């Protein structure tokens, strides 16, 4: 996750164009026109970087959960909140997707959710990933998902991007703000953003995962197909 908050990035960009520092409440409320512009520019840059780096990286491996006999619920990493779609399957049988459900529907259908067996459903309950039937045997389940883009809006927000990529958003916002003020340096900053993004993307390609996923995030009722991650150029 990004290391800089929206407030820190707004003030970093503002310092480059001699704007007064903003408070947390001013950034969240976008109380000044220049703050509103910078926030919008940061989000525009964020969307470009996100799409370039993650737009075709789906699904992403999120967690590997070791289930134990008699235990229905398991903790997930904090990043689960940014995944818009999740897929769960046993490591030993990656084509056997565990179906998603919810505790209300499962209770209505099965009554008590204490029955043990081979999990057929997963559901979220009190911030945890739960299985029904409750696992009767130890096994490893893989959780994968497609990433949901969420704009920065509150002063304390951070990006999903690796911390070392926060600078890209600022570079883009500086370029747009300088263009707004007709600063001749705007072209330099925009070219720098494009060049730096190309370098970051090239690095992502070099470190691309090699595993073939057994989940199609756009599954429409046909059996899951093997999907090898693709990267846009």
Taking only the tens of pLDDT, the chain with its 233 residues reads 678 999 999 999 999 988 899 999 999 999 999 999 999 999 999 999 988 887 655 566 668 899 999 999 998 876 665 566 678 899 998 888 899 899 999 999 999 999 999 999 999 888 889 999 999 999 999 888 766 778 999 999 998 888 888 999 999 999 999 999 999 999 999 999 999 999 988 887 776 554 444 444 333 343 333 333 343 33
Task: Provide the pLDDT for residue 216.
Answer: 40
Q: Do residues 83 and 188 make contact, with C-beta atoms less than 8 angstroms apart?
A: no
Task: Provide the pLDDT for residue 3.
Answer: 86
Task: Provide the pLDDT for residue 58.
Answer: 52
Task: Provide the pLDDT for residue 230.
Answer: 40
Write the DSSP string, 25-77.
HHHHHT-SHHHHHHHHHHHHHHHHHHHHHHTT--SEEEEEEEE-TT--EE---
- The answer to pTM > 0.75 is no
Q: Do residues 77 and 62 make contact, with C-beta atoms less than 8 angstroms apart?
A: yes
Q: Do residues 53 and 204 make contact, with C-beta atoms less than 8 angstroms apart?
A: yes
Which of these, 56, 46, 2, 58, lies nearest to 171 by C-alpha position?
A: 46
Write the DSSP string, 83-123.
EEEEEEEETT-TTSPBEE--HHHHHHHHS-S--EES--EEE
| Tokens of residue 101, six digits | 């459900």
Task: Provide the pLDDT for residue 55.
Answer: 64
Which of these, 127, 59, 70, lies nearest to 97 by C-alpha position?
A: 59
Which of these, 79, 64, 51, lies nearest to 169 by C-alpha position?
A: 51
| Tokens of residue 209, six digits | 């995962």
Cβ atoms within 10 A of the Cβ of 33, count? Answer: 9
CA–CA dist 195, 232 (Å, integer): 16
Task: Provide the pLDDT for residue 84.
Answer: 61
Which of these, 213, 212, 209, lies nearest to 88 by C-alpha position?
A: 213
């Amino acid at each position: 996750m990004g290391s800089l908050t929206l407030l820190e990035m707004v003030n970093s960009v503002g310092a480059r164009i001699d704007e007064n520092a903003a408070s947390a409440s001013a950034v969240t409320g976008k109380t000044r026109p220049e703050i509103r512009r910078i926030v919008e520019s940061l989000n525009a840059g964020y969307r470009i970087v996100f799409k370039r780096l993650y737009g075709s990286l789906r699904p992403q491996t999120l967690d590997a959960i070791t289930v134990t006999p008699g235990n229905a619920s398991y903790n997930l990493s904090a990043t689960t909140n940014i995944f818009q779609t999740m897929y769960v399957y046993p490591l030993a049988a990656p084509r056997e997707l565990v179906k998603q459900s919810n505790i209300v529907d499962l209770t209505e259908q099965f009554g008590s959710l204490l029955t043990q067996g081979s999990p057929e459903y997963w559901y979220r309950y009190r911030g945890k990933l739960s299985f029904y039937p409750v696992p009767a045997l130890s096994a490893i389940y893989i959780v994968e998902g497609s990433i949901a883009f969420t704009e920065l809006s509150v002063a304390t927000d951070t990006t999903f991007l690796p911390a070392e990529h926060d600078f890209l958003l600022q570079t883009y916002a500086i370029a747009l703000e300088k263009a707004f003020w007709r600063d001749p340096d705007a072209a330099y900053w925009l070219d720098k953003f494009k060049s730096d993004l190309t370098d970051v993307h090239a690095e992502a390609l070099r470190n691309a995962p090699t595993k073939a996923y057994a989940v199609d995030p756009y599954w429409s009722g046909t059996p899951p197909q093997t999907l090898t991650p693709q990267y846009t150029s």
